[in-house]
């Protein structure tokens, strides 16, 4: 395969097209696909250009995207139109253009998945889209179901201006924002390697999304989402809010992956409109671009691509990366051009399939590198390459040192926060659970019982309480020691849990010492007594480790409707247990009003 780059409007444009025509007519290639990346969004010139390419190369396909930056030979070119002609010798490249996406997202995703299943030896699917007029998450959820091992990648179209919505893709039929271009790459000798590079680093502790609507993040920790910027970075709500937050986007932790999200605008109620969806429950962090970490990540990727030995490379890089690097934007891309002809565009979002989970996800602020090759890798090894970051001097060098300082202090704060969370989790556990048996303690089981009683009263239902005590347990401690006594309590608890927690809504707690309490909803008095007898027999028939002979329990039972005086309720069931203990033990006594 071969990739030929042509810049529309330059003096050598016609000559470059002639060279492409000679290459195409050589007979060496079987398929030609054009990627056209345009800084401009005027429909007629783009339609005309696409039609001219189709007329000159009738068997080709044209995939156009309005771009936030055109990448030619791994450099950001002056705003213009870049044509990437990809010629394949033995690869089957099927291009499908899906219309009328909005309202039919699930079906479109299903059709893409069905198409993948139909194509033998399929290796990858490329998606070029706008992502502004329809719900891409619904599409990706379906495409995630396609067979393992198939790479999925792509980018969102969007113009150079962050204030003007120029989210269009185009071909010979003109501009559209309600369409998807899908390219299916297949063939035994076609090889592709896709991965992303990030380098943005978490800052501080996490927030939890408590209210969201797709790309609208409404609340973080039950507060207006905008407060994360107002409180911690003192970024005010004004016309430049999105621009001011670019340097501190957000990271969402998802399935051991990270989805970066940057702000497009803030609404009056404090809702943040993001480039990319969020869902309730997501853990969100502020983050910042760490030049050293970015260079490290991209260098790792460059080495992977070098060993892959590509014949063509596509770079789909987020527009926020372009804003972050400013005059140094080419720095992280240039080494790719030493590996193969490199083209691409700056996007408004990147698409990639996670190779481990199989999920197709929407990313932001990533550099997506797509390396392609037909046939085996060359036996000639390419020497190692690295980013030349010596340009990071002066102010850039100062930023690099400051981000290193912030990185180190952030790591320390995050470690301290994790330790605090661990301690809080432990305290929460101890406040609700019995340390020895792991079941609810007295305070928590009383809280649960109260909830069940209130619900019973509201819904005119029955709820039964069981209070039970291990017979002659003091003798176990005296004879075998408290260590064995504790082991018996743990073993006894397993029996209680197996029986009681098998009932829907059944709960168990340790009342104190060898006394336990259980609540079972929707049991009348006879049913509760039968259930208590079942529990009593299970204990009586069990052989406990470390002691001789069997143990028994005594049980008091009371059935309530939730309107009773709580103090009398507990007294009455306690009296029943006392009566059972005083009259021979190993028995069930119910309260009779």
Q: What is the pTM assigned to this prediction?
A: 0.69
Gap between the Cα atoms of 19 and 5, Å rounded: 11
- Report the pLDDT value the prediction gives residue 374, as an integer from 0 to 100: 97
Please check whether residue 274 is in contact with residue 226, taking contact to mean a CB–CB distance below 8 angstroms. no
Nearest to 512 by CA among 444, 424, 426: 444
Q: Which residues pair with 254 in a beta bridge?
A: 257
The DSSP symbol for 194 reads: E
> 3-class SS at 145?
coil
> Is beta strand 61-66 parallel, antiparallel or unpaired with respect to 31-38?
parallel
Gap between the Cα atoms of 180 and 178, Å rounded: 7
Question: Cα angle at 155 between 327 and 331, to 5 degrees?
Answer: 25
As given in the structure block, the two tokens for residue 539 are 């204990």
> 3-class SS at 69?
coil
- Report the pLDDT value the prediction gives residue 394, as an integer from 0 to 100: 54
Question: Angle, to 10 degrees, between the axis of helix 525-540 and the axis of helix 482-500?
Answer: 140
Radius of gyration of the chain from Cα atoms?
33
Please check whether residue 44 is in contact with residue 116, taking contact to mean a CB–CB distance below 8 angstroms. no
- Report the pLDDT value the prediction gives residue 270, as an integer from 0 to 100: 93
Residues in the chain: 593
Question: Cα angle at 293 between 245 and 384, to 5 degrees?
Answer: 135
Q: In this structure, what are the phi and psi dihedrals at residue 386, rounded to the nearest 5 degrees? A: -140, 155
Alpha helix segments (H runs only) across 338-441 = 395-432
As given in the structure block, the two tokens for residue 239 are 């016309």
List Cα–Cα distances, 268 to 188, 218, 229, 238, 469, in angstroms. 54, 11, 15, 10, 61
Sign of CA dihedral 234, 237, 239, 242: positive
Q: Which residue matches tokens 């009586």?
A: 540
The DSSP symbol for 75 reads: E
Burial class of residue 16 (count of CB atoms within 10 Å of its CB; 0-12, 13-18, 19+): middle
List Cα–Cα distances, 309 to 93, 227, 341, 355, in angstroms. 21, 47, 12, 20
Sign of CA dihedral 385, 390, 396, 398: positive
Alpha helix segments (H runs only) across 25-103 = 43-56
Could you tell me if residue 222 is left (phi over 0), alpha (psi between -120 and 50 degrees) or otherwise beta?
Answer: left
Q: How far is CA 489 from the centre of its chain?
A: 42
Gap between the Cα atoms of 518 and 83, Å rounded: 73
Please check whether residue 12 is in contact with residue 350, taking contact to mean a CB–CB distance below 8 angstroms. no
> Is beta strand 122-129 parallel, antiparallel or unpaired with respect to 151-156?
parallel
The DSSP symbol for 163 reads: S
Q: Provide the residue-wise pLDDT of the chain in tens; the chain has 593 residues.
A: 999 999 998 999 999 999 999 999 999 999 999 999 999 999 999 999 999 999 999 999 999 999 999 999 999 999 999 999 999 999 999 999 999 999 999 999 999 999 999 999 999 999 999 977 899 999 999 999 999 999 999 999 999 886 667 899 999 999 999 999 999 999 999 999 999 999 888 877 789 999 999 889 999 999 999 999 998 888 888 878 888 888 889 998 887 788 899 888 899 999 999 988 899 999 999 888 888 889 999 999 999 999 999 999 999 999 999 988 888 999 999 999 999 999 999 999 999 999 889 999 999 999 999 999 999 998 888 899 999 888 776 545 555 556 666 666 666 666 776 777 777 777 777 788 988 999 999 999 999 999 999 999 999 999 999 999 999 999 999 999 999 999 999 999 999 999 998 899 999 999 989 999 999 999 999 999 999 999 999 999 999 998 988 999 999 999 999 999 999 999 999 999 999 999 999 999 999 87
Alpha helix segments (H runs only) across 273-343 = 291-308, 319-325, 334-337
Please check whether residue 507 is in contact with residue 447, taking contact to mean a CB–CB distance below 8 angstroms. no
- Report the pLDDT value the prediction gives residue 549, as an integer from 0 to 100: 87
As given in the structure block, the two tokens for residue 176 are 């559209």
Nearest to 514 by CA among 581, 446, 582: 581
Q: Which residue matches tokens 């076609």?
A: 190
Q: Does an H or E element contain 71, and which?
A: strand 70-72
- Maximum distance among all Cα pairs of the chain, rounded to whole angstroms: 108
As given in the structure block, the two tokens for residue 410 are 């952030």
> 3-class SS at 196?
strand
Nearest to 260 by CA among 338, 179, 358, 352: 352
Gap between the Cα atoms of 198 and 363, Å rounded: 10
DSSP for 423-489 reads: HHHHHHHHHHB-TTT-SB-HHHHHHHHHHHHHHHHHHT--EEEEEEEETTHHHHHHHH-HHHHHHHH
Please check whether residue 194 is in contact with residue 370, taking contact to mean a CB–CB distance below 8 angstroms. yes
DSSP for 338-378 reads: TTSEEEEEEES-EEEE-TTT--EEEESS-EEEEEEEESSPP
DSSP for 219-280 reads: EETTEETTHHHHHHH---SSTTHHHHHTTS-EEEEETTEEEEE-EEEE-TTSPEEESS---T
> Is beta strand 250-254 parallel, antiparallel or unpaired with respect to 257-261?
antiparallel
- Report the pLDDT value the prediction gives residue 245, as an integer from 0 to 100: 86
Please check whether residue 113 is in contact with residue 204, taking contact to mean a CB–CB distance below 8 angstroms. no
- Report the pLDDT value the prediction gives residue 451, as an integer from 0 to 100: 93
- Report the pLDDT value the prediction gives residue 404, as an integer from 0 to 100: 62
Q: Which residues pair with 416 in a beta bridge?
A: none
Gap between the Cα atoms of 593 and 591, Å rounded: 6
């Amino acid at each position: 395969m071969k990739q030929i780059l042509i810049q529309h409007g330059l003096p050598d444009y016609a000559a470059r097209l002639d060279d492409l025509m000679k290459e195409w007519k050589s007979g060496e290639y079987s398929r030609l696909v054009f990627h056209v990346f345009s800084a401009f969004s005027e429909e007629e010139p783009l339609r005309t250009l696409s039609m001219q390419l189709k007329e000159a190369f009738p068997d080709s396909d044209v995939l156009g995207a309005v771009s936030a930056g055109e990448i030619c030979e791994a450099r950001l070119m002056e705003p213009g139109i870049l044509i990437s002609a990809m010629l394949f010798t033995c690869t089957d490249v099927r291009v499908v253009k899906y219309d009328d996406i909005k309202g039919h997202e699930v079906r479109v995703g299903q059709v893409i998945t069905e198409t993948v299943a139909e194509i033998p030896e399929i290796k990858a699917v490329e998606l070029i889209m706008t992502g502004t007029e329809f719900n891409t998450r619904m599409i990706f959820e379906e495409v995630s179901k396609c067979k393992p091992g198939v790479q999925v990648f792509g980018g969102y179209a969007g113009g150079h201006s962050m204030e003007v919505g120029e989210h269009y893709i185009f071909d010979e039929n003109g501009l559209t924002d309600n369409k998807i271009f899908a390219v299916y790459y297949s063939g035994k000798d076609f090889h592709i390697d896709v991965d992303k590079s990030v380098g943005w680093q978490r800052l501080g502790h996490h927030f939890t999304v408590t209210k969201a609507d797709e790309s609208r993040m409404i609340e973080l920790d039950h507060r207006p989402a905008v407060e994360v910027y107002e409180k911690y970075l003192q970024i005010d709500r004004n016309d430049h809010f999105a621009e001011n937050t670019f340097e501190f986007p957000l990271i969402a932790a998802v399935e051991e992956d990270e989805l970066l999200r940057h702000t497009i605008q803030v609404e009056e109620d404090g809702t943040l409109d993001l480039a990319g969806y969020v869902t309730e429950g997501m853990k969100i962090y502020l983050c910042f671009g760490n030049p050293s970490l970015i260079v490290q990540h991209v260098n790792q990727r460059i080495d992977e691509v070098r060993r892959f030995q590509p014949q063509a490379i596509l770079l789909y890089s987020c527009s926020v990366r372009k804003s972050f690097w400013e005059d140094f934007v080419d720095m992280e891309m240039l080494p790719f051009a030493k590996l193969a002809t490199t083209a691409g565009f700056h996007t408004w979002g990147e698409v990639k399939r996670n190779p481990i989970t199989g999920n197709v996800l929407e990313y932001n602020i990533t550099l997506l590198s797509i390396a392609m090759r037909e046939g085996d890798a060359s036996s000639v090894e390419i020497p190692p390459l690295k980013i030349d970051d010596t340009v990071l001097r002066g102010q850039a060098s100062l930023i690099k040192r400051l981000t290193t300082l912030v990185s180190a202090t952030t790591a320390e704060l995050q470690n301290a926060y994790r330790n605090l969370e661990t301690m809080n989790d432990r305290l929460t556990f101890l406040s609700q659970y019995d340390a020895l048996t792991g079941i609810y303690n007295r305070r928590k089981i009383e809280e649960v019982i109260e909830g069940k009683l209130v619900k019973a009263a509201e819904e005119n239902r029955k709820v039964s309480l069981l209070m039970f005590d291990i017979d002659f347990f003091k003798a176990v401690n005296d004879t075998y020691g408290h260590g064995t006594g504790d082991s018996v309590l743990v073993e006894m608890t397993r029996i209680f849990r197996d029986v009681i927690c098998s009932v829907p809504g059944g709960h168990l707690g340790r009342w104190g010492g060898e006394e336990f309490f259980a609540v079972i909803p929707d049991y009348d008095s006879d049913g509760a007594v039968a259930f208590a007898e079942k529990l009593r027999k299970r204990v009586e028939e069990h052989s406990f480790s470390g002691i001789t002979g069997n143990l028994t329990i005594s049980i008091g039972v009371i059935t309530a409707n939730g309107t009773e005086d709580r103090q009398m309720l507990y007294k009455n069931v306690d009296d029943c247990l006392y009566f059972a203990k005083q009259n021979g033990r190993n028995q069930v006594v119910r309260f009779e009003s």
